[in-house]
Amino acid sequence: MLEVVLKRFETPDEVREFEKGKLEIVKIGGMTIGRASYEPGWRWSEHVSPLAGTPLCVVEHVGMVLSGRAVAAMKDGAEVELAAGSLFHVPPVAHDSWVIGDEPYVSLHFLGADQYAT
């Protein structure tokens, strides 16, 4: 018999915490979905790099910004601002990211959450 499965980020399957942020992981329907929450002042190269063991992020991301603003900066110098309501795809090439302004940044990650901050 098929069952409907309901889960919530309030009770995630896993939480990966790091300075100024966290990634909550929910596994459902064969997918790993993450909710990333970053405080003002968060920067990937400063706060997640030590956990990942690389100077820049190389994980591919597909997601949606729920609140706040951030920059995704590619190694070649290209920068894109991510704002609430934006759907994004960041390719699996070296990139950095940081929060813009004084509002916390929250996004959902439909691809890449299983590899992020590990």
Give residue 117's pLDDT: 86
DSSP symbol at 54: S
Q: Which residues contact 11 (CB under 8 A, 6 or more apart)?
A: none
Give residue 61's pLDDT: 97
Segments forming the whole domain that contains residue 30? 14-111
Give residue 118's pLDDT: 82
Query: CATH number for the domain including 104?
Result: 2.60.120.10
Helix ranges restricted to H, 18-79 = 44-47, 49-52
Total structural domains within the chain: 1
- 50 occurs within a structural domain: yes
- 82 occurs within a structural domain: yes
Whether the pLDDT of residue 97 is over 90: the answer is yes
What pLDDT, in 10s, does the model give residues 19-47?
A: 999 999 999 999 999 999 999 999 999 99
